[in-house]
């Protein structure tokens, strides 16, 4: 049952991910990515990472992807322009897909063969906001603050970059 659910989920994920990469229309690509991210959130729930799953949707699906869509619409982009000659494009894409497939095969071989054994039992409240937050504000407090700084830069930087006529 769970296995079947996972397989269906995985198939949907791979399908939507492929749609991101293959669909010529950026809006459709973005929507496919939203679906991918949403499904990933579900996978996170399966892995008992509730907090991360919620954040995945809030941050990725809710904020980042909306930003992407917003920009696509602002620039009013249509289907992707293909300039290379078709034959050359086929060659380049063929090479790229072959390299990607090789990478996928190698990575899968590497991780699938990993001697992991059974997962450790999840502690009480695993994946909850409290546990993640405790870790975040104790062991990782410095990276946390640095991430805050980074985000501040990311707030100021785009304003400077995108502002018209400075």
Partner 1 sequence: MIPISWYLTLSAVLFAIGVVGVVVRRNVIVILMAIELMLNGVNLTFVALARQLGSVDGQVVVFFVMAVAAAEAAVGLAIVIAFFRNRESVNADDLALLRW
Partner 2 sequence: MWVDVGIAAAKAFAVVMLVLNMSLVLLWVERKGSALIQDRIGANRANVFGGLLPFNLGIINTLIADPIKLLTKEDLIPAGADRVLHFVAPFLAVFPVIVTFAAIPFGDVLVIGGRTIELQAAALDVGVLYVLAMSSLAVYGVVLGGWATNSRWSLLGAVRGSAQMISYEIALGLGLVAAIMTFGTLDLQEIARAQGAHLWGVVPLWGILYQPVAFLILLIAGFAESKRVPFDLPEGESELVAGYFTEYSGMKQAAFMLSDFAEVVVVAGLATTLFFGAWQVPFLARDGWHLPGGVFVAMPHLAVVALQIAAFTIKVFALCCFQILVRWTLPRYRYDHLMDLGWKWLLPIALANVVVTAVVVVLVA
Partner 3 sequence: MIASSILWLIPALPLAGFLLAIATGNRALVRVAAPALVGASFVVALVAVATLAGAEAGSRLVDPVYTWIEVGGFRADVTFRLDALAAVMVLIVTGVGFLIHVYSVGYMAHDAGLPRFFAYLNLFMFAMLLLVLADNLLLLFVGWEGVGLCSYLLIGFWYEDDANAAAGKKAFVVNRIGDVGFVLGLLLLAWSTAGAAGMSLDFAHVEAHAAGLGAGTAAAIGLLLLVGAAGKSAQIPLYVWLPDAMAGPTPVSALIHAATMVTAGIYMIARLHVVFEAGPAALAVVAVVGVATALFAATIALVQHDIKKVLAYSTVSQLGFMMLALGVGAFATAIFHVMTHAFFKALLFLGAGSVIHGMSGEQDVRRMGGLRARMPVTFWTFLVGTLAIAGAPGLAGFFSKDEILWHTWAAGHPVFWLVAVVTATLTAFYMFRLLFLTFFGAPRAAPEVAAHVHESPATMTVPLVLLAVLSIAGGWVGLPEGWLWGPAIGRFLAPSTGHPHLAHHGAVGEGTLMLVATLLAAAGAALAWLFYVRRPELPGELAGRFRALHALLAGKYWVDELYDALVVRPYVRLSDALWRFVDQGLIDGAVNGTAAFVVVNGQLWRLVQTGNVQHYALVFVGGAAAVLLYYLAR
User: Which residues from 94-153 bind partner 1, rule CB under 8 A?
Assistant: 96-97, 99-101, 103-104, 107-108, 110-112, 114, 116, 118-123, 126-127, 131-132, 135-136, 139-140, 143-144, 147, 150-151, 153
124 burial (CB, 10 Å; 0-12 / 13-18 / 19+) is exposed
The region of 22-30, 64-72, 99-107, 120-128 touching partner 3 under the rule CB under 8 A is: 99-107
Q: Assign 19 to helix, strand or coil.
A: helix
39 binds, among partner 2, partner 3, partner 1, none (CB under 5 to 8 A by kind): none
Rounded CA-CA distance 16/37 in Å is 9
Reduced to 3 states (helix: H, G, I; strand: E, B; else coil), residue 150 is: helix
Indicate which single residue of 14, 46, 95, 147 sits in contact with partner 3 (rule: CB under 8 A): 95
Cα–Cα distances in angstroms (integers) from residue 23 to residues 19, 91, 101, in the given order: 5, 19, 19
Return the range that interacts with partner 2 (CB under 8 A); candidates 69-77, 84-92, 94-102, 105-113. 69-77
| Cβ-contact 6, 46 below 8 angstroms | yes
Q: Is 147 in the site for partner 3 (CB under 8 A)?
A: no
Find out whether 132 and 51 touch, Cβ atoms under 8 Å: yes
Binding residues (CB under 8 A) for partner 2: these are 27-28, 31, 34, 38, 41, 50-51, 54-55, 57-58, 61-63, 66-67, 69-70, 73-74, 76, 125, 128-129
């Amino acid at each position: 049952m769970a296995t079947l659910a996972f397989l269906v989920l995985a198939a949907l994920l791979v399908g939507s991910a492929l749609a991101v990469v293959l669909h010529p229309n950026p809006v459709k690509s973005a929507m496919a990515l939203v679906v991918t991210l949403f499904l990933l959130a579900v996978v996170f729930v399966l892995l008992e990472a509730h907090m991360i799953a919620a954040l995945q949707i809030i941050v990725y699906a809710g904020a980042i992807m909306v930003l992407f869509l917003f920009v696509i619409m602002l620039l009013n982009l249509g289907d992707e322009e293909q300039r290379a000659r078709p034959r050359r494009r086929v060659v380049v894409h063929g090479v790229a897909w072959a390299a990607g497939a090789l990478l996928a095969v190698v990575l899968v071989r590497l991780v699938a063969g990993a001697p992991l054994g059974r997962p450790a039992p999840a502690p009480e409240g695993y994946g909850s906001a409290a546990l993640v937050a405790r870790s975040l504000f104790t062991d990782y407090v410095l990276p946390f603050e640095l991430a805050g700084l980074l985000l501040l830069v990311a707030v100021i930087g785009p304003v400077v970059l995108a502002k018209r006529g400075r």
